Amino acid sequence: WKLIDSRESEEGVSLHWRLQLWDWQVDLHAELGQGMELRLSTSHEDSEPCHFSHALHAYWRISDVAEVALEGLDGAQGYDELSRQACQQQGELRVVGGCQRVFEHAG
């Protein structure tokens, strides 16, 4: 990973890292301020199609999980590893007890 850009403003800090691997690259953008926004994207530069998946595995110490909400998954199809069944997220994701879900995104 290489740090591509870092900026500081009144709202917080913006960071951009890139991982360049052969004919594709992975970009991670972080916006840190009152809240936090992470974006992970992949670009494939080859003319041949390829299949891939990626995920963010975040392990942060949180004093009160009831204060945490994950936005941007409304309507996303996924799989709940704890209940071992398919799920569809409705609204923001809030954790009550344990949470181990995998969501699909095509876009």
pLDDT in tens, 36-49: 888 888 888 888 88
**Residue 49 to residue 47: CA distance in whole angstroms:** 6
With respect to residue 107, please indicate whether it lies within any of the assigned structural domains. Answer: yes
Residues 38 and 64 occupy one common structural domain: no
Task: Tell me how many domains the chain contains.
Answer: 2
- Considering the entire predicted model, what is its pTM? 0.62
The amino acid at 7: R
By C-alpha distance, which of 62, 61, 6 is closest to 29? 6
Q: What's residue 3's pLDDT?
A: 98
Residues 78 and 100 occupy one common structural domain: yes
With respect to residue 51, please indicate whether it lies within any of the assigned structural domains. Answer: no
Higher pLDDT, 7 or 102: 7
Tens digit of each residue's pLDDT (9 = 90 or more) over 63-83: 888 888 888 889 999 999 999
The amino acid at 36: M
By C-alpha distance, which of 33, 32, 54 is closest to 43? 54
Tens digit of each residue's pLDDT (9 = 90 or more) over 8-18: 999 999 999 99
